[in-house]
Amino acid sequence: MKLPQFRFLTAILVGCLSPVGAKADGVLPLFDTHVHYSQPAWQFFKTGEIFDLLKKAGVVKALVSSTPDDGTLKLYNLRKDVIVPSLRPYREGSDSSNWFAQQATLDYLTARLKKGIYKAVGEFHLFEPRSALTPQVKELVQLAVKYDIYLQIHSDALPIAVLFEQHPKLKIIWAHAGMSEPAETVEKMLDRYKNLWTGVSFRAGDIAPGGTLDKAWRDVILKHSDRFVYGTDTYVTGRWGDYLTLVEEHRNWINQLPREVAEKVAFRNAVRLFGIKAGFPD
């Protein structure tokens, strides 16, 4: 899609949707824990446009990781009050298939974490349990514990279990609640691992099919209301064009929860995880 089309669609969305800022009556502020600002998006959405979209969506803080990391730093260096940096292992798109076996990737992560600005490593992909057992991943687990930061992982349940076996103090944010894992599996994983939190990006259609909150998902969210965090996932440029719509899809089901639980999912859980409260209500 060409640049003018992206900006035209964004202008339509911003102009037509009513303001959903954090101060609007009855509208929950959001902490988006799954944002990417990767290189393909830079020419279509300038940094100022990204911040305009976040503000329009009522997103007060965003956990951002990018390929390459320069995208995250572009945003962070402009608005440290909004951007919470996460360090992605991928220096280029092709890294996603074999990053876990590359010593160069581990060296890169080790060097960058010394900056002391990152609250997480990820989002990264582990498609097989054995991928979580490479020397590089084992060392990454040690780094995460050393810096007391989270690993944000895109995988099904088995790699998560393998990682937790490596260190009792490891902390994981499970991206997309396993992407295709059912509510019952998510519940079992949260029951078993006290240091596991789960994101909801890409799961609006499962959590609220047809717009109505599913009973199984409602039950697990109520049971583990402290363990769910909100997110959108702008993994491709087109999702920035759809950002306001993605936010509203999640607001729909979040608003069907009891207010106290809705606030936890929308922002309070992420505020607690990252220790960043400024801009949110008490």
Of 165, 158, 102, 157, give the one whose Cα is nearest residue 134. 102
HSE of 155, CA atoms in CB hemisphere, 13 A: 26
How many Å apart are CA 276 and CA 274, to the nearest integer?
Answer: 5
| Paired tokens of 241 | 């064009």
CA 244 to chain centre: 16
Structural domains of the chain, with CATH: 28-274 (3.20.20.140)
Using CA atoms, how far apart are residues 127 and 153, in angstroms rounded to an integer?
Answer: 10
Cross-strand partners of 35: 64
Question: Quick one: which of 99, 101, 198 has its CA closest to 153?
Answer: 198
CB 5 within 8 A of CB 170: no
Q: What share of the chain is helix, strand, coil (3-state, %, to 5)?
A: 50, 15, 35
**Cα separation, 124 vs 97, whole angstroms:** 10
Q: What is the pLDDT along the chain (282 residues), one digit of tens a residue?
A: 344 444 434 444 444 443 333 444 579 999 999 999 999 999 999 999 999 999 999 999 999 999 999 999 999 999 999 999 999 999 887 677 899 999 999 999 999 999 999 999 999 999 999 999 999 999 999 999 999 999 999 999 999 999 999 998 999 999 999 999 999 999 999 999 999 999 999 999 999 999 999 999 999 999 999 999 999 999 999 999 999 999 999 999 999 999 999 999 999 999 999 999 999 999
Which DSSP symbol is given to 267? I
Q: Please tell me whether residue 33 adopts helix, strand or coil conformation.
A: strand
Tokens of 270: 């992420």
User: The whole model's pTM is what?
Assistant: 0.91
The enclosing H or E element of 259 equals helix 259-263
Task: For residue 87, report the phi and psi dihedrals to the nearest 5 degrees.
Answer: -100, 115
As given in the structure block, the two tokens for residue 187 are: 């519940």
pLDDT confidence of residue 36:
98
Q: Decide: helix, strand or coil at residue 154.
A: strand
Looking up tokens 């911003």 gives: 14
